[in-house]
Structure 1
Amino acid sequence: MQTVADLMITDLITLKESDSLAKAKTLMAQKNIRNLPVVDEEGNCLGMLTQREYLKHAFYLVSQFGTQQLTKKEEQTPVRNAMNKDILTVSPSQSLKMAAEFFIENKYGSLPVVEDGKLIGILSPVDFVKLAYDMLEQ
Protein backbone atom coordinates (compact mmCIF):
# COMPACT_ATOMS: atom_id res chain seq x y z
CA MET A 1 0.00 0.00 0.00
CA GLN A 2 1.33 3.41 -0.94
CA THR A 3 1.12 6.00 1.79
CA VAL A 4 1.12 9.78 2.00
CA ALA A 5 4.81 9.55 3.01
CA ASP A 6 5.59 8.09 -0.43
CA LEU A 7 4.29 11.15 -2.26
CA MET A 8 4.42 14.14 0.09
CA ILE A 9 6.78 17.06 -0.44
CA THR A 10 9.20 17.56 2.45
CA ASP A 11 11.16 20.59 1.20
CA LEU A 12 8.75 23.03 2.79
CA ILE A 13 8.35 26.77 2.68
CA THR A 14 6.54 27.91 5.81
CA LEU A 15 5.45 31.05 7.59
CA LYS A 16 5.27 32.10 11.21
CA GLU A 17 2.09 33.71 12.59
CA SER A 18 3.96 36.98 13.03
CA ASP A 19 5.24 37.12 9.42
CA SER A 20 3.62 39.83 7.34
CA LEU A 21 1.15 39.38 4.53
CA ALA A 22 3.72 41.17 2.37
CA LYS A 23 6.22 38.37 3.05
CA ALA A 24 3.59 35.74 2.25
CA LYS A 25 2.69 37.50 -1.00
CA THR A 26 6.36 37.63 -2.02
CA LEU A 27 6.92 33.94 -1.21
CA MET A 28 3.83 32.90 -3.15
CA ALA A 29 4.97 34.88 -6.18
CA GLN A 30 8.66 33.87 -6.05
CA LYS A 31 8.05 30.18 -5.42
CA ASN A 32 4.90 29.92 -7.55
CA ILE A 33 2.88 28.36 -4.73
CA ARG A 34 -0.64 29.00 -3.49
CA ASN A 35 -0.59 27.43 -0.01
CA LEU A 36 1.77 28.20 2.84
CA PRO A 37 1.69 26.27 6.11
CA VAL A 38 1.97 28.38 9.26
CA VAL A 39 4.10 26.86 12.03
CA ASP A 40 5.33 27.88 15.47
CA GLU A 41 8.94 27.81 16.68
CA GLU A 42 8.70 24.07 17.46
CA GLY A 43 7.35 23.19 14.02
CA ASN A 44 3.76 22.61 15.13
CA CYS A 45 1.27 23.23 12.34
CA LEU A 46 -0.96 26.15 13.34
CA GLY A 47 -2.81 26.72 10.10
CA MET A 48 -2.54 27.55 6.41
CA LEU A 49 -2.43 30.75 4.45
CA THR A 50 -3.89 30.07 1.04
CA GLN A 51 -3.87 32.40 -1.92
CA ARG A 52 -7.65 32.68 -1.55
CA GLU A 53 -7.38 33.77 2.09
CA TYR A 54 -4.58 36.21 1.26
CA LEU A 55 -6.69 37.79 -1.52
CA LYS A 56 -9.75 37.96 0.71
CA HIS A 57 -7.76 39.85 3.34
CA ALA A 58 -6.11 42.08 0.72
CA PHE A 59 -9.56 43.06 -0.59
CA TYR A 60 -10.59 43.84 2.97
CA LEU A 61 -7.51 46.07 3.41
CA VAL A 62 -8.27 47.88 0.14
CA SER A 63 -11.89 48.44 1.22
CA GLN A 64 -10.73 49.90 4.54
CA PHE A 65 -7.66 51.90 3.49
CA GLY A 66 -7.67 52.21 -0.32
CA THR A 67 -5.28 50.87 -2.93
CA GLN A 68 -2.59 53.49 -2.10
CA GLN A 69 -2.18 52.00 1.37
CA LEU A 70 -2.29 48.31 0.43
CA THR A 71 1.47 47.69 0.38
CA LYS A 72 1.97 49.45 3.71
CA LYS A 73 -0.96 47.63 5.34
CA GLU A 74 0.26 44.24 4.03
CA GLU A 75 3.63 44.91 5.68
CA GLN A 76 1.87 45.74 8.96
CA THR A 77 -0.61 42.85 8.92
CA PRO A 78 0.53 39.56 10.48
CA VAL A 79 -0.34 36.29 8.79
CA ARG A 80 -2.35 35.27 11.88
CA ASN A 81 -5.03 37.79 10.82
CA ALA A 82 -5.67 36.04 7.50
CA MET A 83 -4.67 32.39 7.94
CA ASN A 84 -7.10 29.51 8.22
CA LYS A 85 -6.72 27.84 11.62
CA ASP A 86 -9.44 25.27 11.02
CA ILE A 87 -7.50 22.92 8.76
CA LEU A 88 -7.55 19.24 8.04
CA THR A 89 -4.28 17.35 8.16
CA VAL A 90 -3.16 13.87 7.18
CA SER A 91 -0.61 11.55 8.70
CA PRO A 92 2.32 10.16 6.72
CA SER A 93 1.02 6.61 7.23
CA GLN A 94 -2.40 7.33 5.73
CA SER A 95 -3.11 5.58 2.44
CA LEU A 96 -2.74 7.54 -0.78
CA LYS A 97 -6.14 6.23 -1.84
CA MET A 98 -7.78 7.87 1.16
CA ALA A 99 -5.92 11.14 0.53
CA ALA A 100 -6.93 11.05 -3.17
CA GLU A 101 -10.57 10.54 -2.17
CA PHE A 102 -10.33 13.58 0.06
CA PHE A 103 -9.09 15.75 -2.81
CA ILE A 104 -11.80 14.42 -5.12
CA GLU A 105 -14.56 15.16 -2.60
CA ASN A 106 -13.25 18.53 -1.34
CA LYS A 107 -11.79 21.66 -2.86
CA TYR A 108 -8.58 21.86 -0.86
CA GLY A 109 -5.41 22.95 -2.62
CA SER A 110 -3.17 21.06 -0.22
CA LEU A 111 -3.06 19.00 2.94
CA PRO A 112 -0.43 19.48 5.64
CA VAL A 113 1.18 16.20 6.67
CA VAL A 114 1.56 16.12 10.44
CA GLU A 115 3.17 13.66 12.80
CA ASP A 116 2.95 14.21 16.56
CA GLY A 117 1.67 17.73 15.87
CA LYS A 118 4.75 18.64 13.82
CA LEU A 119 4.53 19.58 10.16
CA ILE A 120 6.66 17.13 8.18
CA GLY A 121 5.31 17.53 4.67
CA ILE A 122 2.59 18.73 2.37
CA LEU A 123 0.46 16.91 -0.17
CA SER A 124 -1.32 18.53 -3.10
CA PRO A 125 -3.38 17.43 -6.10
CA VAL A 126 -0.37 18.32 -8.26
CA ASP A 127 1.56 15.52 -6.52
CA PHE A 128 -1.11 13.08 -7.71
CA VAL A 129 -0.87 14.43 -11.26
CA LYS A 130 2.91 13.88 -11.17
CA LEU A 131 2.34 10.33 -9.90
CA ALA A 132 -0.13 9.64 -12.72
CA TYR A 133 2.31 11.07 -15.26
CA ASP A 134 5.13 8.85 -13.96
CA MET A 135 2.86 5.82 -14.14
CA LEU A 136 1.90 6.65 -17.74
CA GLU A 137 5.57 6.96 -18.68
CA GLN A 138 6.31 3.43 -17.47
Structure 2
Amino acid sequence: MVLLRRVIGDALRARRQGQHRTLREVSTAANVSLGYLSEIERGQKEASSELLAAICEALGARLSELLGEVSGTLALAEGMEGVLVPVDQDSAPKKAAAAIATNGSVSVSVRQDTPLKATLRATRKRERDVVYAA
Protein backbone atom coordinates (compact mmCIF):
# COMPACT_ATOMS: atom_id res chain seq x y z
CA MET A 1 0.00 0.00 0.00
CA VAL A 2 1.32 3.43 -0.92
CA LEU A 3 1.32 5.87 1.97
CA LEU A 4 0.16 9.43 1.32
CA ARG A 5 2.94 10.82 3.49
CA ARG A 6 5.54 9.13 1.27
CA VAL A 7 4.07 10.58 -1.90
CA ILE A 8 3.94 14.04 -0.30
CA GLY A 9 7.53 13.65 0.90
CA ASP A 10 8.70 12.61 -2.55
CA ALA A 11 6.97 15.62 -4.12
CA LEU A 12 8.56 18.00 -1.59
CA ARG A 13 12.01 16.50 -2.09
CA ALA A 14 11.68 16.67 -5.88
CA ARG A 15 10.78 20.37 -5.70
CA ARG A 16 13.63 21.14 -3.32
CA GLN A 17 16.20 19.22 -5.35
CA GLY A 18 14.87 20.75 -8.57
CA GLN A 19 15.76 24.14 -7.11
CA HIS A 20 19.21 22.86 -6.08
CA ARG A 21 18.51 23.80 -2.47
CA THR A 22 19.66 22.04 0.66
CA LEU A 23 17.52 20.75 3.49
CA ARG A 24 19.10 23.40 5.69
CA GLU A 25 18.07 26.25 3.38
CA VAL A 26 14.46 25.11 3.15
CA SER A 27 14.16 24.20 6.83
CA THR A 28 15.41 27.66 7.81
CA ALA A 29 13.02 29.40 5.41
CA ALA A 30 10.07 27.27 6.59
CA ASN A 31 11.03 27.61 10.26
CA VAL A 32 11.09 23.83 10.79
CA SER A 33 13.95 21.74 12.10
CA LEU A 34 16.22 20.16 9.52
CA GLY A 35 15.67 16.70 11.00
CA TYR A 36 11.90 17.01 10.94
CA LEU A 37 11.91 18.23 7.32
CA SER A 38 14.11 15.28 6.42
CA GLU A 39 11.65 12.88 8.08
CA ILE A 40 8.76 14.48 6.18
CA GLU A 41 10.61 14.12 2.88
CA ARG A 42 11.35 10.46 3.63
CA GLY A 43 7.69 9.82 4.46
CA GLN A 44 8.41 8.98 8.09
CA LYS A 45 6.37 11.86 9.55
CA GLU A 46 3.02 13.32 8.56
CA ALA A 47 3.10 17.08 8.29
CA SER A 48 0.14 19.21 9.33
CA SER A 49 -1.51 21.40 6.71
CA GLU A 50 0.06 24.46 8.36
CA LEU A 51 3.52 22.94 8.15
CA LEU A 52 3.01 21.85 4.54
CA ALA A 53 1.91 25.39 3.69
CA ALA A 54 5.08 26.80 5.33
CA ILE A 55 7.31 24.35 3.45
CA CYS A 56 5.56 25.13 0.17
CA GLU A 57 5.99 28.85 0.79
CA ALA A 58 9.69 28.29 1.47
CA LEU A 59 9.88 26.45 -1.86
CA GLY A 60 7.99 29.19 -3.69
CA ALA A 61 5.08 26.89 -4.46
CA ARG A 62 1.39 26.87 -3.68
CA LEU A 63 0.03 24.15 -1.43
CA SER A 64 -2.61 23.47 -4.09
CA GLU A 65 0.16 22.81 -6.66
CA LEU A 66 1.84 20.29 -4.39
CA LEU A 67 -1.41 18.55 -3.56
CA GLY A 68 -2.34 18.54 -7.25
CA GLU A 69 0.91 16.74 -8.06
CA VAL A 70 0.30 14.28 -5.26
CA SER A 71 -3.25 13.70 -6.46
CA GLY A 72 -2.05 13.04 -10.01
CA THR A 73 0.57 10.59 -8.80
CA LEU A 74 -1.95 8.72 -6.66
CA ALA A 75 -4.49 8.65 -9.51
CA LEU A 76 -1.89 7.08 -11.79
CA ALA A 77 -0.92 4.58 -9.08
CA GLU A 78 -4.57 3.60 -8.64
CA GLY A 79 -4.54 2.40 -12.22
CA MET A 80 -1.66 0.03 -11.48
CA GLU A 81 -3.03 -3.30 -10.34
CA GLY A 82 -2.24 -4.15 -6.73
CA VAL A 83 -0.40 -0.94 -5.87
CA LEU A 84 -2.89 0.69 -3.54
CA VAL A 85 -4.31 -2.48 -2.04
CA PRO A 86 -2.67 -4.77 0.51
CA VAL A 87 -0.97 -7.82 -1.00
CA ASP A 88 -1.89 -11.24 0.37
CA GLN A 89 1.22 -12.42 2.20
CA ASP A 90 0.83 -15.98 0.90
CA SER A 91 0.76 -14.80 -2.71
CA ALA A 92 3.44 -12.13 -2.31
CA PRO A 93 6.61 -12.88 -4.25
CA LYS A 94 9.79 -13.60 -2.35
CA LYS A 95 11.62 -10.75 -4.09
CA ALA A 96 10.38 -7.21 -4.36
CA ALA A 97 8.09 -6.59 -7.32
CA ALA A 98 8.34 -3.49 -9.44
CA ALA A 99 5.83 -1.86 -11.75
CA ILE A 100 6.03 1.17 -14.00
CA ALA A 101 3.23 3.25 -15.50
CA THR A 102 3.20 6.46 -17.50
CA ASN A 103 0.61 8.86 -18.86
CA GLY A 104 2.93 10.98 -21.00
CA SER A 105 3.94 13.63 -18.52
CA VAL A 106 4.19 11.52 -15.36
CA SER A 107 6.03 8.24 -14.88
CA VAL A 108 5.44 6.22 -11.74
CA SER A 109 7.52 3.31 -10.55
CA VAL A 110 6.53 1.18 -7.61
CA ARG A 111 8.63 -1.17 -5.56
CA GLN A 112 6.64 -3.55 -3.37
CA ASP A 113 8.89 -4.60 -0.46
CA THR A 114 6.34 -6.15 1.87
CA PRO A 115 2.56 -6.59 1.86
CA LEU A 116 2.08 -3.23 3.58
CA LYS A 117 5.03 -1.26 2.25
CA ALA A 118 5.45 0.13 -1.22
CA THR A 119 7.67 2.92 -2.41
CA LEU A 120 6.20 5.12 -5.11
CA ARG A 121 8.45 7.34 -7.19
CA ALA A 122 6.97 9.80 -9.62
CA THR A 123 8.85 11.79 -12.19
CA ARG A 124 7.40 14.57 -14.26
CA LYS A 125 8.64 15.97 -17.54
CA ARG A 126 9.95 19.47 -17.11
CA GLU A 127 8.13 22.20 -18.98
CA ARG A 128 11.31 23.10 -20.84
CA ASP A 129 11.47 19.49 -22.11
CA VAL A 130 7.97 19.72 -23.57
CA VAL A 131 7.94 20.80 -27.21
CA TYR A 132 5.01 22.97 -28.23
CA ALA A 133 3.84 22.74 -31.82
CA ALA A 134 2.97 26.00 -33.55
TM-score bracket relative to the smaller structure: under 0.3
TM-score, length of structure 1 as denominator length: 0.27
Q: Say which structure, 1 or 2, has more relative contact order (CA 8 Å, 6+ apart).
A: 1
